[in-house]
Amino acid sequence: MTATPLIESRYAGGDGAMSALAMALFVLSVGYAIDLDNGYYSPRALLWLTISLAFCAAAIVLPAFRKVEWFSRRSLALVLAVGIAIQTALLMARSDFDPLKSAGFAIISALGLLQFFYLRRRRIPVIVIMTATFLYAGGVALNRWAEPDIDVYTFQQSASVALMRGSNPYEVRTPTRYPHSRFYGPGLVDQNGYLTFGFPYPPLSLLMVLPGFLVRGDIRYAQLVAVAVSVVLMALARPGRAGRIGALAGVLFLTTPCVFLVLTMAWTEPLLVLNFSLVMFCACRWRKGLPWALGLFFATKQYTVLALPLLPLLVHGPGWRKELRGIVVKAGILVAVINLPFLLWNVREFTRGVVLLQFVQPFRTDALSYLVWLYSRTGGVKPPIWIPLLVVIPVTALALWRGTRSPAGFAAALTLVNVLFFAFNKQAFCNYYYFVIATACWSVAAAKLPLSSLIRRQSSRLQGMQAALLDLAASTRNDQ
Alpha-carbon distance values, 181 to 227, 244, 251, 323 (Å): 32, 49, 39, 48
Query: What is the CA angle 190-146-253, rounded to 5?
Result: 100
Average pLDDT, the chain: 86
Kindly indicate the confidence band of residue 25, based on its pLDDT and cuts at 50, 70 and 90. very high
Domain ranges of the chain: 8-461
| pLDDT (average), residues 340-360 | 92
Q: What pLDDT shows up at residue 196? A: 87
Q: What pLDDT shows up at residue 149? A: 84
Give residues with Cβ within 8 angstroms of 255, minimum separation 6. Answer: 84, 87, 88, 91, 105, 108, 109, 112
151-175 tens-digit pLDDT: 899 999 999 999 999 999 999 998 8
| pLDDT (average), residues 303-319 | 91
C-alpha to C-alpha distance for 445 and 441, rounded to whole angstroms: 6
Phi/psi of residue 192, nearest 5 degrees = -95, 5
Alpha helices per DSSP H over 363-452: 370-377, 387-402, 407-423, 430-445
Alpha helices per DSSP H over 93-147: 99-113, 123-144
C-alpha to C-alpha distance for 310 and 282, rounded to whole angstroms: 16
372-395 tens-digit pLDDT: 999 988 888 888 878 888 999 999
Type of residue numbered 96: D
Give the least confident one: 18-32, 178-192, 214-228, 422-436: 178-192
Give the least confident one: 180-184, 242-246, 428-432: 180-184
Q: What pLDDT shows up at residue 423? A: 95
Whether the predicted pLDDT of 474 surpasses 80: no
Q: What pLDDT shows up at residue 340? A: 97
Q: What pLDDT shows up at residue 283? A: 95
Judge contact between 403 and 410, C-beta under 8 A. yes
Task: Give, for 65, the enclosing helix (H) or strand (E).
Answer: strand 64-65
Q: What pLDDT shows up at residue 26? A: 97
Alpha-carbon distance values, 174 to 124, 155, 188, 274, 297 (Å): 44, 8, 11, 28, 28
Q: pLDDT above 90 covers what percent of the chain?
A: 56
> With the C-alpha atoms ordered 198, 204, 207, 208, is the resulting torsion angle positive or negative?
negative
Q: What pLDDT shows up at residue 94? A: 73
99-135 tens-digit pLDDT: 767 777 778 878 777 777 666 677 788 888 888 888 9
Q: What pLDDT shows up at residue 376? A: 87
Helix, strand, coil percentages for the chain (3-state, nearest 5): 70, 0, 25
Q: What pLDDT shows up at residue 6? A: 44
| pLDDT (average), residues 276-282 | 97
| pLDDT (average), residues 215-229 | 95
Kindly indicate the confidence band of residue 148, based on its pLDDT and cuts at 50, 70 and 90. confident
Q: What pLDDT shows up at residue 7? A: 42
437-460 tens-digit pLDDT: 999 999 999 998 765 443 444 344
393-411 tens-digit pLDDT: 999 999 999 988 999 999 9
Judge contact between 224 and 216, C-beta under 8 A. no
Determine whether 319 is exposed, middle or buried from the number of CB atoms within 10 Å of its CB (0-12, 13-18, 19+): exposed
- The residue that leads in pLDDT, 381 or 267, is 267
4-18 tens-digit pLDDT: 344 443 433 457 889
Q: What is the largest CA-CA distance in the chain?
A: 99
| pLDDT (average), residues 228-241 | 88
Q: pLDDT above 70 covers what percent of the chain?
A: 87
Q: What pLDDT shows up at residue 95? A: 59
C-alpha to C-alpha distance for 451 and 445, rounded to whole angstroms: 15
Alpha-carbon distance values, 422 to 3, 40, 239 (Å): 44, 13, 34
C-alpha to C-alpha distance for 177 and 194, rounded to whole angstroms: 9
Whether the predicted pLDDT of 176 surpasses 80: yes
Kindly indicate the confidence band of residue 71, based on its pLDDT and cuts at 50, 70 and 90. confident
